Amino acid sequence: MAIEDINPRADTHLLVLPERHVPSFREIAEFSPDEAKRMLDFIATTARDAGLADYRIVANVGEEGGQTVFHLHWHILGGRVTGMPL
């Protein structure tokens, strides 16, 4: 699923979450190659449907990597991005 971030860091800031729980990107191998491909395709489709041609995809891994929600998710950031290093 894709939802809007409640604390956006960009003009467009969406979160993409898989239905099946894994704590972080560290455990991505728990998904079959087909599941992983479907997730990546969904991320690309979500960005396109949001009207984005150029954007960032971010996955924070672990507390020191900035992860605060321990369910694998990707951030789609489009437009002006604030509060993040280039």
**Residue 73 annotated in active site:** yes
Catalytic one of 13, 21, 71, 73 = 73
Print the SS3 string covering 2-69.
EEECCCCCEEEEEEECCCCCCCCHHHHHHCCHHHHHHHHHHHHHHHHHCCCCCEEEECCCCHHHCCCC
Catalytic site residues? Answer: 73
